[in-house]
Chains A and B, each alone.
Chain A
């Protein structure tokens, strides 16, 4: 790091700071705009820019937030998002880790084929599979229900989860597992007592990855849920904006609140999230 820092000095260092500063402001500005606007009365929002709000700090209000949680079913959509996201995060991680164990440690026939399928399925665009998935769920009477969405997200999340866990397990010292076997531990014991505690970083990465992905998802919700009473906050925001059904006094705090949870989780566990990204793939 220090050597790298030495590369820029004097005038170079100043221009680097200024350029990066401008870029950072550009990236921060839209979110900052949203934060400021969400605390302004709607009359002000429609007549003057958010930057002029600081001239009348006494006009800032919490009124928009009181309004948003009680109107247009936005409060419900937040609860829906949670109901959708929590099982859709836990299930693929659990089933993925379970499947990754034999994939990492046993040489069973069909292993290679399964692995290639996993890689291929990470890249298949969801648009390609969503209609047959919808038809399948219709056949099971699960379309437009939470369990239907849980199953869909679990299935879509599995290839990446298995892939990441398998790679993580495969890096673990095999001698440790051998030793546990000699001590008489069975596979289940090895999995739960040895691997799960050691693979905590991988679990953290995948949990954050999957949580953010499902929380921010709109496509799966639109295709297989498509039920206005159960819609998550992404679909709600989108339909409010599309129909111009709600004013900016509702849109701005609703958008900000929808960002609060993922951004907080992201900032708290950034290390694990980045590790998940670096581990290789991005899902379709």
Chain B
């Protein structure tokens, strides 16, 4: 019988993987929408690719947060209070983004559309960037004292290294979003712009991932095990494969490849973290781990039953949504609200 604490570490990793895979292209689409075209009908065509699903995708993040709270309350407490101002920025971004999706099409005016388009772009770019910052911070470690309390400020979160991490996820999600658009849109004119944007963001993601992995290894900031290196190398290879596929208009393969790359990068992150969830750079013994930060065995057992019953059901009906809306979006499709 597997240890509940290990199982919940895996479940949290699964939830974050699902979140980055799904919200990754949502954020990407949001970032790309105003950059790809100025024509209103094309912008609403782009938004129509994620309109039925973005809300369900965002729940992956909320569930990941809730699962952290339930299974590792100390991690939830320390992480959310230490990333206080960053999370505030992210919340404002997500509020504006969510409101924009609903309000944008309620009024036919150029200014109205422009304002909400900016909100969608900003609201997608900020979380895409901040998640990368957070992941690098978590990996490198934060000033956490022996009673699990964060001793730094907002600016301790923004190191040059973590900013590179943020730019990496920003590029990666944009690339993922471009692949998703190539897969979902039926619009020849936009393909050129999508491909160009996709390949540029690929280049950013590719270079930044290499830098992010090489700097810490050469400087001794982090040490990776062989298995983690393999996972990261595979992720980078998939990223490269995806770019080649996008260039040759194999949209399906390109999208599968970025999906695989995101899944592997997240898996590599959690592999490198295990058994820790937050690293203290003041003293390794003060790190939050799956044992010192966990809930009681009773709570974990209840939550295990619930999660193992419910997650497959969620996957089935979310899968059904994607099946229902599997067709490419045409430019003249009348989107009824």
A pairs with B: no
